[in-house]
DNA sequence: CCCTGATTCGC
DNA sequence: GCGAATCAGG
């Protein structure tokens, strides 16, 4: 009996994931024979793939596809797969130096970025001009404005619940 | 070899 | 929708 993803478990998953827990850690805590693969799979289905603070920078690679050993029965031209990564992810500075809080966006550097400042990247990371938004982080590690962009879950179907259960459940855990 | 997340695809 | 298998990397 694979405990399906109940509201409870999904809520816990979101919470732990956004807290920065690794997939395997979350899988252990959820118990119920859930594997890290299951967690990751669910996370992706929920559209939470892009996290602000991954445990390790385990991302920067691209796999063209998966050449399984078994022959494949072909799959037609196949739908266009997304080739680009999700939203721009900030490089976690992990450096909380007590610095004056800039008011204007894009003025926080890796040196001045505080723990509760919006970590939305501004500009080219390889450029000397690179900076972070720096405004007060409210939703996760982003300010309200950028959180909306960063945490775009899915296109919800309007019509029924006006208040989207996702947004509601997220608020309860953040 | 441990770990990380990402992706594909059979179910 | 789910998650094992697989991949790619630290």
Nucleotides on chain C that have an atom closer than 7 A to a protein CB are 1-10
Query: What's the pTM value of the predicted model, to 2 decimals?
Result: 0.44
B4 C1' closest Cα residue? A58
Which nucleotide, over all strands, has the C1' atom closest to the CA of A46? Answer: C1
Distance of alpha carbon A88 from alpha carbon A111, whole angstroms: 20
Distance of alpha carbon A133 from alpha carbon A130, whole angstroms: 10
Distance of alpha carbon A148 from alpha carbon A140, whole angstroms: 11
Q: Which of A173, A106, A117, A123 is nearest to A147 (CA)?
A: A117
* pLDDT tens digit at each of 174 positions of chain A: 556 899 988 988 887 887 788 999 899 888 878 999 999 999 999 887 776 555 555 444 555 555 555 444 444 444 454 444 445 555 555 555 444 444 456 667 766 767 778 777 776 655 566 677 788 877 677 788 777 766 665 555 555 555 555 554 444 444
- The continuous run of DSSP H or E covering A146 comes out as helix A144-150
Domain regions of chain A by residue span: 7-46, 104-153
CA A66 / C1′ B10 distance in Å: 14
User: Does residue A108 lie within 7 Å of nucleic acid chain C, judged by its CB?
Assistant: no
Distance of alpha carbon A13 from alpha carbon A36, whole angstroms: 11
Q: Mind giving me the DSSP string for A94-138?
A: ----------STT-B-TTT--TTB---EES-TTSTT-EE--SBP-
User: Does residue A87 lie within 7 Å of nucleic acid chain B, judged by its CB?
Assistant: no
């Amino acid at each position: 009996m694979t405990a399906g993803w109940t509201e409870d478990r999904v809520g816990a998953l979101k919470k732990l994931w956004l807290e920065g827990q690794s997939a395997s850690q979350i899988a252990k805590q959820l118990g119920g024979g859930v594997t890290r693969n299951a967690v990751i799979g669910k996370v992706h289905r929920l559209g939470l793939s892009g996290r602000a603070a991954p445990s390790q920078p385990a991302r920067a690679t691209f796999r063209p596809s998966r050449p399984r050993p078994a022959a494949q029965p072909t799959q037609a031209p196949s739908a266009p797969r997304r080739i680009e990564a999700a939203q721009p992810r900030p490089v976690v500075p992990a450096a909380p130096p007590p610095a004056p809080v800039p008011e204007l966006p894009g003025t926080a550097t890796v040196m001045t970025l505080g723990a509760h400042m919006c970590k939305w990247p501004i500009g080219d990371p390889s450029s000397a001009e690179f900076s972070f938004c720096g405004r007060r982080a409210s939703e996760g590690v982003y300010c309200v404005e950028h959180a909306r962009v960063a945490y775009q879950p899915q296109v919800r179907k309007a019509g029924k619940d006006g208040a989207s259960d996702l947004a509601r459940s997220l608020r309860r855990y953040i």
